[in-house]
Structure 1
Amino acid sequence: MQRPQNAPRPDPAALLELAARENRGRLTIFLGMAPGVGKTYAMLERAQALRTKGVDVVLGLVEAHGRGETEALAQGLETLPRLAGPSPYGELDLDAALKRRPALLIVDELAHSNPAGARHPKRHLDIAELIDAGIDVWTALNIQHLESLSDLVSRIAGVPVRETVPDTVLKGANEIVLVDLPPGELIERLRSGKIYLEGTAERALEGFFRPATLTALRELSLRRAADRVDDQMVELLRQSAIDGPWATGERLLVCVGSDGMSEAVVREAARLASGLNARWIVLSLTRPHALPPSAAETDRLEETLRQAERFGAEIRRESTSDFVSAILRLARRENITQIVIGRKAGRMLPLRRSLPDALVQKAGGISVHVVSGPQARTPWTRPRRLSRSETLRSLVVPAITVGATTLLGLGLSSLVALQNLSMLYLAAVLLSAVMAGRFAALLAAVLSFLAYNLVFIEPTGRLTIARPEEVLALGIFIAVALAAGQLAARLRISLDRSADQARQARALLDFARKLSGAFGQEQVIETIASHLHGAFGQATVVLVRNEEGELALAAAWPPDQDLDATAMTAARWAADKREAAGFLTGTLPQVPYLFRPVLSGQRVLGVVGLSMRHEDGPAPEEHKRTLDALLEQSAIALDRARLTREATQASVAREGEKLQAALLSSLSHDLRTPLASITGAVTSLRELGDRMPAETRADLLAAIEEEAGRLSRFVGNLFDMTRIDAGLVRARREPVDVRAVIAAAAERARRVHPGLEIETSIADPMPQAEADPALLEQVVFNILDNARKYGGDAPVSIYARGQEDGVTIAVTDQGRGIPPQDLERIFERFYRRAKGDGRQAGTGLGLAIARGLVVAMGGTLRAESPAFKRRGTRFVIKLAAVRETGS
Structure 2
Amino acid sequence: MAHSKQQVLQALRLADELGAKTATISAITVAEGLASYAHQFNIGRIIIGQNQTKTYHCGRSLVKLISHQDVNLDLILVNQSKKTSKRPGEHRLPSWDLTTLSSIDNRNGYLMAALGCSLVTVSLVALTRWFDLANVVMLYLLVIVFISARFGRAPGILASFLSVLSFDLFFVEPKLSFNVSDVQYLVTFAVMLLVSLIINNLAVGLRFQAQTARQREQQAISMSYLAQSLSAARKNDEIIDQATVWLIKHIASQAIVVMPNAEAKLTIVSESTVPAEFNWNVTRWVFDHNESAGLATNTLTANPMHYRALSTSNQVLGVLALMPDEVNTFIQPEQQRALDIAVAQITLALERVYYAKVAQTALIKAESERLRGTLLSALSHDIRTPITVLSGLAASLISQTLTIDEQQQLAIDIEQQANVIQRLVINILDYVSLQSGGMKLNKQWVSLEEIVGGNLRHLEHYLKTRQVQIDIPYDIEFIYTDELILSRILNNLLTNAINYTADDCSIAIKATLNPQQQYQITITDTGEGLPEGMEEQIFERFTRGSSESTTTGLGLGLALSRDLVEHLGGTLLANNVQPHGAQFVIVLPWQSLPDQHLLSNNLIPSR
- Say yes or no: TM over 0.5: yes
Residues 882/407 of structure 1: CA separation in 2 closer, same or farther (3 Å cut): same
Indicate yes or no: 2:425 matched with 1:715. yes
Query: Is the 2:304–2:323 contact (alpha carbons within 8 Å) kept by the matching residues of 1?
Result: yes
Q: CA RMSD for the aligned pairs?
A: 4.7
Give me the whole-angstrom Cα distance separating, in 2, the residues matched to 1:557 and 1:739: 59
| Counterpart for residue 571 of structure 2 | 861
Residues 645/414 of structure 1: CA separation in 2 closer, same or farther (3 Å cut): farther
| Counterpart for residue 381 of structure 1 | 95
Query: Is the 2:10–2:298 contact (alpha carbons within 8 Å) kept by the matching residues of 1?
Result: no
Q: Letter of the aligned partner of 1:352 in structure 2?
A: G
| Counterpart for residue 800 of structure 1 | 511
The structural deviation recorded for 1:600 is: 0.9
| Counterpart for residue 208 of structure 2 | 493
Q: Deviation string for 1:167-192 (max 9, x for gaps)?
A: xxxxxxxxxxxxxxxxxxxxxxxxxx
| Counterpart for residue 634 of structure 1 | 346
Give me the whole-angstrom Cα distance separating, in 1, the residues matched to 2:7 and 2:239: 37
Q: Letter of the aligned partner of 1:541 in structure 2?
A: I
Give me the whole-angstrom Cα distance separating, in 2, the residues matched to 1:851 and 1:579: 55
Query: Is the 1:442–1:485 contact (alpha carbons within 8 Å) kept by the matching residues of 2?
Result: yes
The structural deviation recorded for 1:460 is: 6.7
Give me the whole-angstrom Cα distance separating, in 2, the residues matched to 1:866 and 1:484: 92
Q: Letter of the aligned partner of 2:2 in structure 1?
A: D
Give me the whole-angstrom Cα distance separating, in 2, the residues matched to 1:335 and 1:811: 86
The structural deviation recorded for 1:863 is: 0.7
Give me the whole-angstrom Cα distance separating, in 1, the residues matched to 2:372 and 2:463: 30
The structural deviation recorded for 1:636 is: 0.8
The structural deviation recorded for 1:387 is: 4.0
Give me the whole-angstrom Cα distance separating, in 1, the residues matched to 2:298 and 2:190: 59
* Partner SS state of residue 862, structure 1: strand
The structural deviation recorded for 1:405 is: 4.8
The structural deviation recorded for 1:660 is: 0.9
Aligned match for 1:554, one of 251, 265, 268: 268
Write the mapping of 1:693-842 to structure 2, written as runs, cut at 5 A: 703-766=413-476, 768-790=478-500, 792=502, 794-802=505-513, 805-813=517-525, 815-817=528-530, 823=536, 826-828=538-540, 830-835=541-546, 842=553
| Counterpart for residue 61 of structure 2 | 354
Give me the whole-angstrom Cα distance separating, in 2, the residues matched to 1:501 and 1:753: 82
Aligned match for 1:390, one of 72, 84, 105: 105
Residues 734/299 of structure 1: CA separation in 2 closer, same or farther (3 Å cut): closer
Aligned match for 1:438, one of 153, 157, 161: 153
Give me the whole-angstrom Cα distance separating, in 1, the residues matched to 2:532 and 2:133: 95
Residues 847/575 of structure 1: CA separation in 2 closer, same or farther (3 Å cut): same
Indicate yes or no: 2:378 matched with 1:666. yes
Give me the whole-angstrom Cα distance separating, in 1, the residues matched to 2:461 and 2:366: 40
Give me the whole-angstrom Cα distance separating, in 2, the residues matched to 1:520 and 1:647: 15
The structural deviation recorded for 1:667 is: 0.9
Query: Is the 1:342–1:356 contact (alpha carbons within 8 Å) kept by the matching residues of 2?
Result: no
| Counterpart for residue 342 of structure 1 | 51
The structural deviation recorded for 1:563 is: 8.4
| Counterpart for residue 653 of structure 1 | 365
Q: Letter of the aligned partner of 2:52 in structure 1?
A: R
Give me the whole-angstrom Cα distance separating, in 2, the residues matched to 1:309 and 1:763: 83
Write the mapping of 1:130-279 to structure 2, written as runs, cut at 5 A: 258-259=1-2
Give me the whole-angstrom Cα distance separating, in 2, the residues matched to 1:309 and 1:884: 78
Give me the whole-angstrom Cα distance separating, in 2, the residues matched to 1:632 and 1:380: 41
Residues 675/305 of structure 1: CA separation in 2 closer, same or farther (3 Å cut): closer
Query: Is the 1:359–1:368 contact (alpha carbons within 8 Å) kept by the matching residues of 2?
Result: no
Indicate yes or no: 2:388 matched with 1:676. yes
Give me the whole-angstrom Cα distance separating, in 2, the residues matched to 1:485 and 1:508: 34
The structural deviation recorded for 1:522 is: 3.0
Aligned length: 581
* Partner SS state of residue 582, structure 2: coil
Give me the whole-angstrom Cα distance separating, in 1, the residues matched to 2:190 and 2:329: 48
Residues 670/806 of structure 1: CA separation in 2 closer, same or farther (3 Å cut): same
Give me the whole-angstrom Cα distance separating, in 2, the residues matched to 1:721 and 1:307: 61
The structural deviation recorded for 1:741 is: 2.5
| Counterpart for residue 877 of structure 1 | 587
* Partner SS state of residue 808, structure 1: strand
Indicate yes or no: 2:284 matched with 1:572. yes
Residues 366/396 of structure 1: CA separation in 2 closer, same or farther (3 Å cut): closer
Q: Deviation string for 1:329-364 (max 9, x for gaps)?
A: 79x97989x86533358x8x9833233666899897
Write the mapping of 1:618-633 to structure 2, written as runs, cut at 5 A: 619-633=331-345
Query: Is the 2:148–2:156 contact (alpha carbons within 8 Å) kept by the matching residues of 1?
Result: yes
Query: Is the 1:787–1:796 contact (alpha carbons within 8 Å) kept by the matching residues of 2?
Result: yes
| Counterpart for residue 143 of structure 1 | none
Q: Deviation string for 1:281-309 (max 9, x for gaps)?
A: xxxxxxxxxxxxxxxx3235456778999
Indicate yes or no: 2:228 matched with 1:513. yes
* Partner SS state of residue 239, structure 2: helix
| Counterpart for residue 600 of structure 2 | none
* Partner SS state of residue 58, structure 2: coil
Give me the whole-angstrom Cα distance separating, in 1, the residues matched to 2:107 and 2:325: 31
* Partner SS state of residue 320, structure 2: strand
Query: Is the 1:760–1:797 contact (alpha carbons within 8 Å) kept by the matching residues of 2?
Result: yes
Residues 306/667 of structure 1: CA separation in 2 closer, same or farther (3 Å cut): closer
| Counterpart for residue 844 of structure 1 | 555
Looking at both structures, which has the greater relative contact order when contacts are Cα pairs under 8 Å and sequence separation is at least 6? 2
Residues 492/329 of structure 1: CA separation in 2 closer, same or farther (3 Å cut): closer
TM-score relative to the length of structure 2: 0.78
Give me the whole-angstrom Cα distance separating, in 2, the residues matched to 1:413 and 1:661: 104
Residues 462/883 of structure 1: CA separation in 2 closer, same or farther (3 Å cut): farther
Query: Is the 1:807–1:878 contact (alpha carbons within 8 Å) kept by the matching residues of 2?
Result: yes
Give me the whole-angstrom Cα distance separating, in 2, the residues matched to 1:589 and 1:468: 61
Residues 867/562 of structure 1: CA separation in 2 closer, same or farther (3 Å cut): farther
Give me the whole-angstrom Cα distance separating, in 2, the residues matched to 1:778 and 1:531: 55
TM-score relative to the length of structure 1: 0.56
Query: Is the 2:48–2:78 contact (alpha carbons within 8 Å) kept by the matching residues of 1?
Result: yes
Query: Is the 1:819–1:865 contact (alpha carbons within 8 Å) kept by the matching residues of 2?
Result: no
Q: Letter of the aligned partner of 2:80 in structure 1?
A: V
Give me the whole-angstrom Cα distance separating, in 2, the residues matched to 1:491 and 1:548: 57
| Counterpart for residue 260 of structure 2 | 545
Residues 510/374 of structure 1: CA separation in 2 closer, same or farther (3 Å cut): farther
Farther off after superposition, 409-418 or 736-745: 409-418
Give me the whole-angstrom Cα distance separating, in 2, the residues matched to 1:388 and 1:367: 37
The structural deviation recorded for 1:670 is: 1.4
Query: Is the 1:340–1:371 contact (alpha carbons within 8 Å) kept by the matching residues of 2?
Result: no
* Partner SS state of residue 844, structure 1: coil
Aligned match for 2:306, one of 594, 611, 634: 594
Give me the whole-angstrom Cα distance separating, in 2, the residues matched to 1:313 and 1:806: 70
Gaps of 5+ in 2: 598-607
| Counterpart for residue 190 of structure 1 | none
Residues 585/614 of structure 1: CA separation in 2 closer, same or farther (3 Å cut): farther
| Counterpart for residue 524 of structure 1 | 239
* Partner SS state of residue 800, structure 1: strand
| Counterpart for residue 602 of structure 2 | none
Q: Letter of the aligned partner of 2:210 in structure 1?
A: L
Query: Is the 1:259–1:300 contact (alpha carbons within 8 Å) kept by the matching residues of 2?
Result: no
Q: Letter of the aligned partner of 2:81 in structure 1?
A: V
* Partner SS state of residue 546, structure 2: coil
Give me the whole-angstrom Cα distance separating, in 1, the residues matched to 2:163 and 2:298: 56
Residues 561/388 of structure 1: CA separation in 2 closer, same or farther (3 Å cut): closer
Q: Deviation string for 1:348-388 (max 9, x for gaps)?
A: x9833233666899897957553145599624232463344
Q: Letter of the aligned partner of 2:509 in structure 1?
A: I
